[in-house]
Amino acid sequence: MQILKDRIRKDGKIREGNVLKVDSFLNHQMDVSLFREIGKEFKRRFEGEEITKILTIEASGIGIACVVAEVFNVPVVFAKKTQTKNIAGDVYTTQVESYTHGRIYDIIVSREFLGPDDKVLLIDDFMANGKAMEGLIQIVKDSGAQLVGAGIVIEKGFQPGGDALRDQGVHLESLAIVESMDEKTGEIVFR
């Protein structure tokens, strides 16, 4: 998606630990008009698929997932990383290692919001090692729902998550795949 790649080149900053910082438009301050274009692009890429629910993981996936849910006209559910009093017992749960927090979370989704009749599109802002997607796929399996595919805004193609998912036969659509990025020169190469 060219406007996304241009924006990453313009505003993205490369940080140590293979972190691409895009918090001025994607996952802290959010450019909602860019999000709308991203939503339309996911709609185009998953055209013809029956989707009943968007599933993402807190926190950074939520904003983008809401815009995608609007174009598909379905609800969005997010996996919670923290146990809260307002979700009582009946949950799907698995463990996910967070890329940027550097710790493992027990993620939870209430059974009330995902079940065998659902056809699920996963949405997230980033793909790195694939831990977030692995966790969400486990929850979809546990719920008996059908996995339609996964939509990622930025995949870091030099990290293993995306290709591992494709090898498993998951329909993965990443709108920008960073093939390499150089912290010293600031150069970003897209696949």
Ligand X SMILES: O=P(O)(O)OC[C@H]1O[C@H](OP(=O)(O)OP(=O)(O)O)[C@H](O)[C@@H]1O
Ligand Y SMILES: O=c1[nH]c(=O)c2nc[nH]c2[nH]1
Binding interface with ligand Y (CB under 6 A) = 19-22, 27, 99-100, 126, 128
129 near ligand X (CB under 6 A): yes
Q: Which residue has the tokens 């150089």?
A: 182
151 near ligand X (CB under 6 A): no
Q: Please say which residue, 80 or 131, places its beta carbon nearer to ligand Y.
A: 131
Question: Measured from the CB of residue 120, what is the shortest distance to ligand Y in angstroms?
Answer: 21
Q: Please say which residue, 91 or 133, places its beta carbon nearer to ligand X.
A: 133
Question: Measured from the CB of residue 34, what is the shortest distance to ligand X in angstroms?
Answer: 17
Out of ligand Y, ligand X, none, what residue 95 binds, judged by CB under 5 to 8 A for its kind, is none
Q: Please say which residue, 118 or 125, places its beta carbon nearer to ligand X.
A: 125
Task: Report the interface residues with ligand X, using CB under 6 A.
Answer: 57, 59-61, 98-101, 124-132, 161
